[in-house]
């Protein structure tokens, strides 16, 4: 019966846009539309708008009976409960628990709706359609405003006992008094160094504590972004490359600890920072092999996402739609 349903819905619920895609079994997005995530006061209004956006796409493909299921990737999405829980950056979900899976399912003829967080959705996407095809043990690390992760073990997403496993942006890299403050309220987290904000902060620290020449000095120091560092590094700027080496060292050393945990076949990096290619990937791999336990040395692959230009988040979330 299931095999007669040729499509799934994948939803990338981001802080700005929510993209709805209808995906076939080969991983092609056959129809797509989007709404603004934050234009709604309540979760009910958001779901109503989402369903209104989806309906025409579903109808043009033959109706809801052609849809096997729906998967949603969302910040603070909990796979076990199907709810978004206290998402700080979502106006209609920041101070409570929104049972989003159930709400969409109720409006869509009772189809199965699964929810997970955005980094886990990216990992699903890599496994089904991207750089992790055929792998059973790998870790996706998303380098964006924050640092997120999706961990796959024995071919399964690692959710842990409460659905919140895989917060690798918040392992502590500096336990000393100089550890950087992190958005999570603690100090020294990986995210405080390797997120886009962390990279910009490293740039400001180096520029303000030295008078070394750098292309980055053309910008107002307070508005430097990680993209500026990428551009300058690409032009051979020494300071920019030092910033990448510092960032790569942090990431490589963190991965060395992750290897001691789950010994993955590959670490797959996703997000704007990866567009710098070897300039960031080489320092990561080098730091890893310099610092990891001997039994792991030289074994792990360091890959850039295979879905950077596709709509990875939609594809990843859609993979959840095929789960029974």
Residue 132 has a CB neighbour count (10 Å cut-off) of: 28
Q: Minimal distance in Å, beta carbon 141 to its own copies?
A: 12
Element (H, E) at 194: helix 191-194
36 lies in the binding site for its own copies (CB under 8 A):
no
181 near its own copies, judged by CB under 8 A: no
Candidate list 24, 33, 225, 257; residue touching its own copies; CB under 8 A: 257
Q: Which of 41/186 has CB closer to its own copies?
A: 186
For residue 174, state whether it binds its own copies (rule: CB under 8 A): yes
Residues 82-141 that bind its own copies (CB under 8 A): 135-138
The nearer residue to its own copies, 41 or 299, going by C-beta atoms, is 299
- Binding residues for its own copies, rule CB under 8 A, total 45
80 binds its own copies (CB under 8 A): no
* Residues of this chain, 184-203, that bind its own copies according to CB under 8 A: 184-186
Phi–psi pair at 142, nearest 5 degrees: -100, 125
Q: Which stretch binds its own copies (CB under 8 A): 140-148, 170-178, 207-215, 302-310?
A: 170-178
- 283 binds its own copies, rule: CB under 8 A: no
Give the interface segment with its own copies, choosing from 31-39, 204-212, 237-245, 260-268 (CB under 8 A): 260-268
- The distance of closest approach from Cβ of residue 180 to its own copies in the complex, given in angstroms and rounded to an integer, is 14
Query: Of the candidates 29, 61, 153, 310, which one interacts with its own copies according to CB under 8 A?
Result: 153
From the list 11-19, 237-245, 273-281, 291-299, the region that binds its own copies by CB under 8 A is 291-299
Taken in order 27, 127, 108, 87, the sign of the CA dihedral is negative
Q: Shortest gap between Cβ of 222 and its own copies (angstroms)?
A: 29
CB of 93 to its own copies, least distance (A): 15
Contact status: 286 vs its own copies (CB under 8 A):
no
List interacting residues with its own copies (CB under 8 A). 135-138, 151, 153-154, 156, 158-168, 170-176, 184-186, 253, 256-258, 260-265, 291, 293-296, 299
């Amino acid at each position: 019966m299931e095999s007669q349903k040729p499509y799934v819905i994948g939803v990338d619920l981001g802080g700005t846009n929510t993209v709805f895609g209808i995906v076939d079994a080969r991983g092609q997005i056959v129809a797509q539309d989007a709404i603004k995530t934050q234009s709604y006061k309540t979760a009910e209004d958001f779901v109503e708008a989402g369903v209104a956006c989806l309906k025409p796409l579903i109808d043009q493909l033959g109706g809801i009976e052609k849809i096997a299921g729906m998967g949603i990737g969302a910040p603070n999405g909990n796979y076990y409960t199907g709810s978004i829980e206290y998402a700080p950056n979502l106006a209609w979900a920041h101070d409570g628990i929104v049972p989003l899976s159930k709400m969409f399912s109720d409006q869509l003829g009772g189809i199965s709706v699964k929810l997970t967080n955005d980094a886990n959705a990216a990992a699903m996407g890599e496994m089904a359609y991207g750089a992790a095809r055929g792998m059973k043990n790998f870790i996706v690390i998303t380098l964006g405003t924050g640092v997120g992760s999706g961990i796959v073990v024995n071919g399964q997403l690692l959710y842990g006992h409460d659905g919140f496993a895989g917060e690798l942006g918040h392992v502590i890299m500096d336990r000393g008094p100089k550890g950087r403050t992190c958005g999570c309220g603690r100090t020294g987290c990986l995210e405080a160094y390797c997120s886009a904000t962390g990279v910009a902060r490293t740039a400001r620290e180096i520029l303000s504590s030295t008078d070394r020449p750098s292309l980055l000095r053309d910008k107002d120091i307070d508005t430097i972004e990680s993209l500026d560092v990428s551009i300058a590094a690409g032009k051979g700027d020494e300071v920019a490359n030092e910033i990448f080496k510092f960032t790569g060292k942090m990431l490589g050393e963190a991965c060395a600890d992750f290897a001691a945990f789950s010994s993955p076949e590959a670490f797959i990096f996703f997000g704007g920072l990866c567009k710098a290619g070897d300039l960031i990937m080489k320092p990561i791999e080098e730091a890893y092999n310099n610092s990891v336990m001997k039994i792991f040395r030289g074994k792990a692959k360091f890959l850039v996402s295979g879905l950077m230009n596709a709509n990875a988040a939609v594809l990843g979330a859609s993979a959840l739609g095929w789960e029974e």
